[in-house]
Chains A and B, each alone.
Chain A
């Protein structure tokens, strides 16, 4: 069965420090992996995705994520956090071999707080 885990409900970092938001997944085939961000009272915004190719994926707002097949992880990273990065972050996965099953499986979200 497909699943996604975001092991941390909340992550706190100081402004200017690097940040990491963790995501691990389980799919039967090759994964399509996504990160989304949700600012307060807003809809989710797409940040980046991994389909195939380079394990390091760069996305919006200076975020990047590293796909690690052996550890089945797709952690979101940013070298220097901003207070404006404070938001809820969601990881999602889809099995690339799911055929007509177009549904994404979503993590429960990680709340990121960047302190000035």
Chain B
């Protein structure tokens, strides 16, 4: 039972490049979320999705794009990476209802 996986686990890129972070869950959860974690800011929601083809902005969506063509996948794209997007990115999923979220292991992204 793989649960929720993220790839890559570590990524170094340069300013201006496009980067896509992948998230895959095997539970068929309806909801999926992308967070970034930065010191002093805790977890901040970037985007979330209530179902395939339904996405919505979170607190800090600028500079990010998401899509959800299949229930199990929720990729996050940085269209033109900036140094301020250096962070640890977490994907999560939930059934809905009581909203217990289950997190992936994270992707540590460094933008040089």
Contacts and interface: CB of A to CB of B under 8 A. Distances in A.
B105 A32 contact: no
A103 B45 contact: yes
Contacts of A36: 103
Interface in B34-53: 40-45, 48, 50
Give the interface size class of chain B: 20 to 34
A51 B98 contact: yes
Contacts of B42: 90, 106-109
Given A102-B48, A106-B43, A107-B42, A43 B99 contact: no
A42 B104 CA distance: 8
Contacts of A94: 99
B31 interface: yes
Interface string A45-66: 1100101000000000000000
B96 A102 contact: yes
10 nearest CB pairs, A to B = A43-B103, A108-B42, A44-B103, A106-B43, A43-B105, A43-B106, A106-B42, A51-B98, A109-B42, A43-B104
21 contacts: A32-B98, A41-B106, A43-B104, A43-B106, A44-B90, A44-B92, A46-B101, A49-B98, A51-B98, A94-B99, A102-B94, A102-B99, A103-B45, A103-B48, A103-B58, A106-B42, A106-B43, A106-B44, A108-B40, A108-B42, A109-B42
Given A46-B101, A104-B99, 15 more contacts: A41-B106, A42-B106, A43-B104, A43-B105, A43-B106, A44-B101, A46-B100, A46-B102, A94-B99, A103-B45, A103-B48, A104-B101, A106-B43, A106-B44, A108-B40
